[in-house]
Structure 1
Amino acid sequence: SISPLKNFVAGGFGGACLLLAGHPLDTIKVRLQTQPKAAQYVLYTGTYDCLRKTVSKEGILGLYKGMGAPLAGVAPMMAISFFGFGLGKQLQQTDPGKPLTHTQIFLSGCLAGVFTTVIVAPGERIKCLLQVRRKSASYCHKLKHRTNRKVFECLLEDVSKNGLYFLTYEYLKHFLTPEGQSVSQLSTPKILLAGGVAGILNWTIALPPDVLKSNFQTAADGKYRGLVDVLRTLLREEGPKALYKGFNAVFLRAFPANAACFLGFEVALKGLNIIAPGW
């Protein structure tokens, strides 16, 4: 049977695994996305150049800048996400012996997105500002003049994105399960593969909105009227390729981070089923 409570606890552990595996490349991604346009001075020529310069100037800890806020938020965020996903499945499940349809799984994932939109907003905003800051005073100025309304506007796309994310993972789990075996018996390499591919597909669709969000959140106050204004400005000044800034860093991060997330979730869930079967 589906237990939203177990999903909550296991999802929190999975979120911690995701952050530890993916934050360094997330920092690289944000810095690439928010650097000046090509006509101006280019800070970084690519993923490797950004990595090299960051480590050279700031040390290895420079890759973990801004980790404090998401560290406090990502575990509960993923816990809420997996809780919402589990609750969505539980609400739609009429027969425990009958698998849910793809549509039902997608809708369950969308419910997870609704839940996490509220949780993720403050930490996501602070993280982006910390990752691109050069001086503490600049960070404080931007933080003071941001409104929560703008952050929530940036995160509305998470609802459908979460639906696709969970649908892809669940589909791949069943696809990779040998005939005659239970999905719960899926091997660790196959769980990693399913989680990693789900993460890559998720970011293939989500990268352009993420670029808009990063530029909107880190721009000077009043520079943009909204995400549509960011889109128009980027297309006019840099062309369509601007929507895929940080492409390499995103996909280098997406596979290991999401593979670690789902593996952590599955391991924690199995452990909970053993020590607390009645939950």
Structure 2
Amino acid sequence: MADVAKDLTAGTIGGAAQLVVGHPFDTIKVKLQSQPAPLPGQPPKYAGAMDAVKQTISAEGPRGLYKGMGAPLATVAAFNAVLFTVRGQMESLLRSEPGAPLSVNQQVVCGAGAGVAVSFLACPTELIKCRLQAQSALAGSGSSSTAVKYSGPMDVAKHVMRSEGGLRGLYKGLVPTLGREVPGNAVMFGVYEAIKQFIAGGADTSSLGRGSLMAAGGLAGAAFWAFVYPTDVIKSVLQVDDHRNPKFSGSIDAFRKISSSEGVKGLYRGFGPAMARSVPANAACFLAYEMTRASLG
């Protein structure tokens, strides 16, 4: 139980650091992902990431870059506590003896298991976040869903529970969320361990400094998004889709329609901001986690 409490605490602090550093990048990513396809001969609402930043600040001020932060901030403790605690418990199960370092392959297994657990927390949280972040991008698209103007995270949750099938509505997009979190965390924790062992020159990574931990964490986060990004696009478009007049019947249908209308490029909308976010945000997360965990003994 002592190890569980330490992982809970360290995971919470790591997640808070990740959120503060990375949320503005995430807002731009979701805006680019969820903007409606332009009419023939018309330009898209946002020409790119920097244009989305300029339009957001112009229309909503700097606070617009932190729109939707309330939902993940309210659940960041639970999300990262589960992620790092499940990973820690799986590490204990896979160790040959207490304190023994794990191989990269074993960390991949631990990451996948943690990804399953966090998916059930991530799905409703991200649905709320995406609805808030995408409001301005969807404005004027002609979808009836744009008539709904949410005042905040609780307003989104109440509206979804009332009009979209209760609790089931909050879990719209669960399949692509699992498709992102399970392989994504497997890759992230595997890459994190591999880079640490490479820098340390062996399996014992306990003496690594802050710079090495940040480098490993940042590159691990980049690996996460590089590996699963199209799944995240599908998740986002499903979660902001109008439930009364849906464009997509499910994950496969979304994949086919996006690929057909926009090609492979459509599956990588917002990739730049996602990658720009992943390195500093995950560097902050892993550093905060490792430093907090070490200070707790």
1:80-130 CA-to-partner distances (Å, cap 9, x unmatched) read 100011000001112235432222211111111122112222111100001
Residue 230 of structure 2 corresponds to: 208
Consecutive unaligned residues in structure 1, runs of 5 or more: 274-279
Given that 1:4 and 1:82 are in contact with CA atoms closer than 8 Å, whether structure 2 keeps it comes out as no
- Counterpart CA distance in 2 for 1:24 and 1:259 is 16
- Counterpart CA distance in 2 for 1:213 and 1:151 is 5
Residue 200 of structure 2 corresponds to: 177
Shift of 1:150: 2.5
Residue 68 of structure 2 corresponds to: 66
Residue 141 of structure 2 corresponds to: none
Match of 2:267 among 216, 223, 243: 243
1:190-213 CA-to-partner distances (Å, cap 9, x unmatched) read 111100000111100111000111
Shift of 1:154: 2.6
Given that 2:218 and 2:283 are in contact with CA atoms closer than 8 Å, whether structure 1 keeps it comes out as yes
Shift of 1:57: 1.2
Match of 1:197 among 216, 219, 235: 219
Structure 2 length-normalised TM: 0.85
What SS does the corresponding residue of 2:35 show, helix, strand or coil? coil
Shift of 1:16: 0.3
1:15-74 CA-to-partner distances (Å, cap 9, x unmatched) read 000000000010000001111224344111111111111111111000000000000112
- Counterpart CA distance in 2 for 1:263 and 1:193 is 9
| CA spacing shift, 1:137–1:149, aligned 2, 3 Å | closer
Shift of 1:7: 1.6
| CA spacing shift, 1:108–1:71, aligned 2, 3 Å | same
Residue 224 of structure 1 corresponds to: 248
Percentage of identical aligned residues: 39
Match of 2:186 among 143, 157, 163: 163
Q: 5 Å matches for 1:29-68?
A: 29-38=29-38, 39=40, 40-68=42-70
1:7 aligns with 2:29: no
- Counterpart CA distance in 2 for 1:219 and 1:243 is 16
Given that 1:84 and 1:112 are in contact with CA atoms closer than 8 Å, whether structure 2 keeps it comes out as yes
Shift of 1:246: 0.6
Root mean square deviation, CA, Å: 2.0
Letter in 2 for 1:234: I
Residue 271 of structure 1 corresponds to: 295
Question: Which of 131-140 and 70-79 deviates more?
Answer: 131-140
Given that 1:196 and 1:255 are in contact with CA atoms closer than 8 Å, whether structure 2 keeps it comes out as yes
Letter in 1 for 2:15: G
Shift of 1:175: 1.1
| CA spacing shift, 1:152–1:56, aligned 2, 3 Å | same
1:217-245 CA-to-partner distances (Å, cap 9, x unmatched) read 11111321101111111111111100110
Given that 2:230 and 2:268 are in contact with CA atoms closer than 8 Å, whether structure 1 keeps it comes out as yes
What SS does the corresponding residue of 1:100 show, helix, strand or coil? coil
Residue 91 of structure 2 corresponds to: 89
Question: Which of 252-261 and 35-44 deviates more?
Answer: 35-44
Given that 2:124 and 2:171 are in contact with CA atoms closer than 8 Å, whether structure 1 keeps it comes out as no
1:135-183 CA-to-partner distances (Å, cap 9, x unmatched) read 683445973326244232231111122111111111111111257x952
- Counterpart CA distance in 2 for 1:4 and 1:101 is 21
- Counterpart CA distance in 1 for 2:56 and 2:170 is 30
Residue 164 of structure 2 corresponds to: 145
Structure 1 length-normalised TM: 0.91
Given that 1:74 and 1:120 are in contact with CA atoms closer than 8 Å, whether structure 2 keeps it comes out as no
Given that 1:15 and 1:78 are in contact with CA atoms closer than 8 Å, whether structure 2 keeps it comes out as yes
Residue 277 of structure 1 corresponds to: none
